Structure 1
Amino acid sequence: MNTENRYPVTASLFMLKEIKHRQEQVNRGYQLLKRKAEALRMRGRQAASELASAQAIFGHTLREAYISLAAIKFTNGESNALVLENIGQAQVRVQRIPENISGVSTVSLQTLEETGVGDSLRYAGLGAGGHRTGEAKKAFREAVRILVRFASLRNTCILLDESIRSTLRKVNGIEKVIMPKLRNTETYIMMEMDEREREEFHRLKMVKAKKIRSQARAALRHAKSIGGAGEASELTSAVMLPSHCRSVECLSSILSCNSSMSVTTDSGDYKPVCYPHNWDDDDLLF
């Protein structure tokens, strides 16, 4: 397995548990980030629709306000200097209200009208066309209110767009990089642990077979030196041999068996070429 597609860890049971715990945490964070991205998308689409409607209304309101200003100029003449000279405290103020949208900190702007502030141009234009002056003031005040709302929605859309991009980058990084690496690391650890288990099982089988052969060789040598089959059976019963291999012929077959190795195609495990008949795996373990 390519080491670039997995984390450099040692194949052990502790690391396997650690990788599985990390996978659980990554899956939980992945689900939370996906929910956050969906919530931000819904809020972003809502803010975009409100922004489009506010932009359309703002254009119409501003056009009507400038038409009223043109009517005032036609009726009362140029009054810009008079307005600039009598500027005092602002009658419309902007308040910043912090909001939290699925973990994203935004600021909402709201207009506050100061009712106690005196209007120095309250009676301007009463001699000729005073009602037009009042209509122009109302139109521009409404335009300012819509402009503040438009600015608030635009700021929210920009912040939500940046947050959605960042969240989607995190989601794609977890889905395309971190999760495949964790899966490949878990597969690598499982393969290494299975390979070690097979090697250990094969080593135990070979050690057991070698031990049985040495015991059989010693029993057969002692039986030949004494020269009796009954005594040979008694000697073989004294050593740790299977119950069906307590005869001299069976001992001879064990000793004549080749100790070379081969690979079985059905199980994929290494086994000796020749074992005594009717041996099970349980007989080969300590």
Structure 2
Amino acid sequence: MAELLNVKPTRMELLNLKRRITLAKKGHKLLKDKQDALIMEFFTIYDEALSLREELNKKMESAFDALLNAQLETGTLRLKEAALSVKPNHEIEIKQRNVMGVSVPLIEAESFRRNVQERGYSFVSTDPSVDLVAEKFEEVLDLVVRLAEVEETLKRLAKEIETTKRRVNALEYIIIPRMEATVKFIKQRLDEMERENFFRLKRVKALIEARSQGGA
């Protein structure tokens, strides 16, 4: 049996509890709908994350193959010199956006892809293989930024789903059953009190009639 609320068994409390149950059931439905929508959104983004992760793995493999080839063709020393000459990238700005009521990151950054002149190293003293390495790793960086945004979004959605689930379960299995059990108890207690009053009035009436007949 569900635990009862600590309230007085009065008609006022009965009406109040009935209103609270109605509100709780509406709240439960809204939270359940929110939970279902969050789960659908989560798996949509999850599929995107898997796709991005798979693409990133392939691009990283291709980038490291190009790096190895550049080391063989250009030499490690000249490759390091070119790397140290690369100009810094533009700053990344992290904002927030709303997904199903959840604040998730929105990463704004220009593409890391550049042409040879923009990179900073001397394309005259380097081999074309260096350009290929730069291009490959720029593609990797673009994907890393996007994947970071998507995976952080997944983490926050998962946390919100868990929080919403706990609220749904609390309403469904604890709060609403407790209020309904209390309503049932109050009804039974009010019925008992009504029966007691009825029998009390009946006895009083019988006593009054008996006295009036005795007096006659």
User: Is the contact between residue 95 and residue 112 of structure 1 (CA under 8 Å) also seen in structure 2?
Assistant: no
1:197 pairs with one of 194, 200, 216:
194
- Secondary structure of 1:108's partner? strand
1:90 corresponding residue in structure 2: 89
* Residue identity opposite 1:216 in structure 2: Q
d(CA) in 2 for partners of 1:124, 1:47: 44
Cα distance in 2 between the residues matched to 1:125 and 1:46: 47
- Percent identity, aligned pairs only, is 24
Give yes or no for contact 2:14–2:186 (8 Å, CA) kept in 1.
Answer: yes
Question: Is the 2:70–2:79 contact (alpha carbons within 8 Å) kept by the matching residues of 1?
Answer: no
Residues 1:90 and 1:124: Cα distance change in structure 2 (over 3 Å): farther
Residue aligning to 2:136: 139
What residue number does 1:261 align with?
none
Q: Match for 1:175 among 163, 172, 176? A: 172
Alignment partner for residue 209 of structure 1, among 203, 206, 213?
A: 206
Q: Is the 8 A contact 1:124 1:133 kept in 2?
A: no
Task: Using the TM superposition, give the Cα deviation of residue 30 of structure 1 relative to its aligned residue in structure 2, in angstroms.
Answer: 0.8
Q: For residue 105 of structure 1, what is the aligned residue in structure 2?
A: 103
Deviations 1:196-242 (A, max 9, x none): 111111111111111111111111xxxxxxxxxxxxxxxxxxxxxxx
Q: Are 1:23 and 1:182, in contact at CA under 8 Å, matched by a contact in 2?
A: yes
Residue in structure 2 matched with residue 65 of structure 1 by the alignment? 63
104-113 vs 143-152, which moves further = 104-113
**Match among 27, 36, 39 for residue 41 of structure 1:** 39
Letter in 1 for 2:80: A
More helix as a share of residues: 2
TM-score (norm 2): 0.90
Where 1:149 maps in the other structure, the secondary structure is helix
The code of the aligned residue for 1:211 comes to I
Q: Secondary structure at the match of 1:8?
A: coil
Is 1:154 aligned to 2:154, yes or no? no
Letter in 2 for 1:29: G
Higher relative contact order (CA 8 A, sep 6+): 2
4+ aligned runs moved over 6 Å, structure 1: 114-117
The alignment yields a C-alpha RMSD, in angstroms, of: 2.2
Whole-Å separation in 2 of the counterparts to 1:80 and 1:123? 12
- TM-aligned CA deviation for residue 84 of structure 1: 4.4
Between 43-52 and 109-118, the greater mean CA deviation after superposition = 109-118
**C-alpha distance in 2 between matches for 1:109 and 1:29:** 34
Distance 1:217 1:10 in 2: 43
Match of residue 18, structure 1, among 7, 16, 25: 16
Query: 1:167 Cα shift?
Result: 1.1
TM-score (ref. length: structure 1): 0.69
Q: Highest Rg: 1 or 2? A: 1
C-alpha displacement of 1:118: 4.0
Partner Cα distance (2:135, 2:83) in 1: 18
Within 1, Cα distance between the matches of 2:111 and 2:49? 23
Task: Give 1:125 deviation, angstroms.
Answer: 4.6
Cα deviation digits, residues 44-68 of structure 1 (max 9, x gap): 1111111111111001011111111
Paired residue total: 213
Contact 1:104/1:160 (8 A) holds in 2: yes
- 8 A Cα contact 1:37 1:164, kept in partner: yes
1:28 aligns with 2:31: no
Which range moves more in the overlay, 158-167 or 81-90?
81-90
What secondary structure, in the 3-state scheme, does the structure 1 residue paired with 2:92 have?
strand
User: What stretches of structure 2 of length at least 5 have no aligned partner?
Assistant: none
The answer to whether the 8 A contact 2:82-2:122 is kept is: no
Query: SS at 2:119's partner residue?
Result: coil
Deviations 1:95-120 (A, max 9, x none): 32312122211113243137799432
**CA distance in 1 between partners of 2:138 and 2:213 (Å):** 110
Secondary structure (helix, strand or coil) at the match of 2:22 reads helix
SS in 1 for 2:109: strand
Give the direction of change, closer, same or farther, for the CA distance of 1:122–1:194 in structure 2 (3 Å limit). Answer: farther
For the 8 Å contact 1:11–1:189, the answer to whether it is kept is yes
